[in-house]
Structure formats: structure tokens, C-alpha cells
């Protein structure tokens, strides 16, 4: 196993970065972690990360496998779903370069061979955009009160479209998409904060209130809330949303017609339903 991979595993065990790793371990708990899997390693009071790496570096293949499987075990996290998801996401990202992946069968982690995919070219998925009914916002268990607001805005957007109030409609669409994304992030903060595209300041992920709609769209696609085609169209809608400022509209010379409005509405409907479907599948 590559030295860099072992260093990452050591960092995982120490858990200093709580955005990437589910558990922080003090000196006592470092010793206990290794002891629980039958490895005799007592922390000597030195810097934790270098010490953990010195232990990992000396392990045989079988003992190293014990460490990896323990880090991916639901039992280590007491069944906490958010911690388990974060552990598997980070661990498998570390292991991918070694053609390895941890999968959970029942409650037991299994280490399997899997070819990594480092093709970062985005390949659009063709999908027919068509009118969709609103999600059942009340069933998604978002923050209290936000479901009623989202449902109300969905209805108002349709009224604007029917009356051909195109500027009002696209502005409302942008605000609705932003509100739904924010509500979803508030419901699943660890997943949103652990995304590679999560905006940072001074090395720390920003508070959700400081995220832009652009940030939300990129993160939503990265973690699987919206599909690639919806991501691309959503960025276009974001630009239209900015004409809420009259001088911005004048500068852009943007005057959305009814056809543009209807297309944008299909994009918002697809985005909302993508997010709602993800929430239903990952409701716990």
C-alpha cells in the first residue's frame, strides 16, 4: 500500500478534521482503537498523527485490513447513520487509489477489489424535460414552516406563467430552488459540508447562510441531489434570477419571454423532484 494512503488512514484514525472524519480520537482513544482490534500499540504522548502513521506503517497486510474494516464498521459508530455515511465516503475515497472499496453487508464491512474511475469529464445524460407535479413537501420533513412556503411559491410561479408575468416567474423560480436547496442542506448538514465543492473561508466550510446559489447547485450535483443536466440548466436559471435588480437586467439586456420562462420552469420542476426523490431514498 502506498505511503500516502497509509498517511491518510492515520489521519482518519486521529480524526482531527471533523468535516471529513466522523470521530476525533484523543491519546487514550487512539490506544483503545488499536487495542479493540488486537493490535498492541500504546500512544506515547507524542504528536498523534505521526504516531498513528508510525503504527500503520509497520502493520502486516492482515492487521492493516483489520484497521480498514474497523474504520468502516457501523458498530464503531453505534449505528449512527450520518457517521457511517461519512466514514464510508471518506474511507472509500482514500482506498480507491489502491483499487479497494469497503461495502457493508448487513452490519459487517467487507473489503473488495474495485477499479477506480478518475475520468472527470462530465458526460451529459439525455433526459426529456417535461411538466411534473410538485413534490409532497410536507412529507420531506424539512425545517418547520418551509414546506408551506415552498408549496405556496410553486403555486405562485404557475400563476405568473399563466399570466405571462415572465420576469416575476423566473425570479420566483430562482428563489424557490435556492430555498429548497437550503432546506435540504439544513436537513443533511454533514453531507453538504463534506462535499469537495463546499465553499470555504480560512480553511473552514462557510455557514449555509453565506453560500451562494452557485455553491448550492454545484454541491447538490456533486453529492447526487440533482442530475448533471439539471445542474447545467440551473446555473442558467441562476443568471436569470439575478435580474431581480433592475440595473442588472439593464446591464445584461435580459428580457425572458414566455418560452424561456416555460423551459426554466421545467428545469425547476426537475430539480425539485430530483431533490425530493433523493430525500425519500435517504430519509433516515
Q: Which domains does the chain have, with CATH numbers?
A: 3-113 (no CATH), 137-281 (1.20.120)
Look at 55-59, 152-156, 229-233 and tell me which has the smallest mean pLDDT: 229-233
Per-residue pLDDT tens digits for 31-77:
999 999 999 999 999 999 999 999 999 998 899 999 999 999 999 99
Residues 6 or more apart whose CB falls under 8 angstroms from that of 89 comprise 194
Whether residue 240 is predicted with pLDDT greater than 70 in this model: the reply is no
Residues 130-167 as b or e (16 or more Cβ within 10 Å = b):
eeeebbebeebebeeebbebbeebbeebeebbeeebbb
Give ∠ CA 19-25-26 in degrees, rounded to 5: 130
CB 277 within 8 A of CB 240: no
Residue 126 has what pLDDT?
A: 53
Q: Is the pTM of this model over 0.85?
A: no
Amino acid at each position: 500500500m502506498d505511503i500516502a494512503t497509509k498517511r491518510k488512514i492515520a489521519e482518519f484514525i486521529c480524526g482531527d478534521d471533523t468535516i471529513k472524519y466522523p470521530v476525533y480520537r484523543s491519546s487514550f482513544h487512539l490506544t483503545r482503537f488499536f487495542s479493540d482490534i488486537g493490535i498492541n500499540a500504546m500512544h506515547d504522548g507524542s504528536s498523534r498523527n505521526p504516531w498513528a502513521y508510525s503504527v500503520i506503517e509497520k502493520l502486516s497486510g492482515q492487521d492493516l485490513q483489520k484497521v480498514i474494516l474497523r474504520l468502516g464498521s457501523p458498530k464503531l459508530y453505534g449505528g449512527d447513520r450520518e457517521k457511517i455515511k461519512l466514514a464510508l465516503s471518506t474511507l472509500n475515497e482514500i482506498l480507491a487509489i489502491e483499487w479497494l472499496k469497503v461495502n457493508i453487508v448487513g452490519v459487517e464491512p467487507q473489503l473488495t477489489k474495485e477499479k477506480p474511475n478518475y475520468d472527470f469529464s462530465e458526460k451529459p445524460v439525455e433526459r426529456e424535460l417535461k411538466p411534473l407535479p410538485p413534490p409532497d413537501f410536507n412529507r420531506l420533513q424539512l425545517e418547520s414552516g418551509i414546506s408551506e412556503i415552498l408549496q405556496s411559491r410553486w403555486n405562485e410561479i404557475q400563476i405568473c406563467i399563466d399570466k405571462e408575468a415572465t420576469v416575476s416567474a423566473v425570479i420566483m423560480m430562482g428563489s424557490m430552488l435556492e430555498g429548497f436547496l437550503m432546506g435540504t442542506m439544513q436537513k443533511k448538514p454533514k453531507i453538504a459540508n463534506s462535499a469537495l465543492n463546499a465553499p470555504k473561508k480560512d480553511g473552514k466550510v462557510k455557514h449555509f447562510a453565506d453560500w451562494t446559489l452557485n455553491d448550492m447547485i454545484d454541491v447538490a450535483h456533486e453529492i447526487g441531489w440533482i442530475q448533471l443536466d439539471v445542474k447545467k440548466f440551473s446555473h442558467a436559471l441562476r443568471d436569470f434570477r439575478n435580474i431581480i435588480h433592475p440595473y442588472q437586467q439593464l446591464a445584461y439586456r435580459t428580457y425572458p419571454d414566455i418560452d424561456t420562462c416555460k423551459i426554466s420552469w421545467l428545469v425547476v420542476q426537475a430539480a425539485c423532484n430530483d431533490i425530493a426523490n433523493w430525500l425519500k431514498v435517504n430519509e433516515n
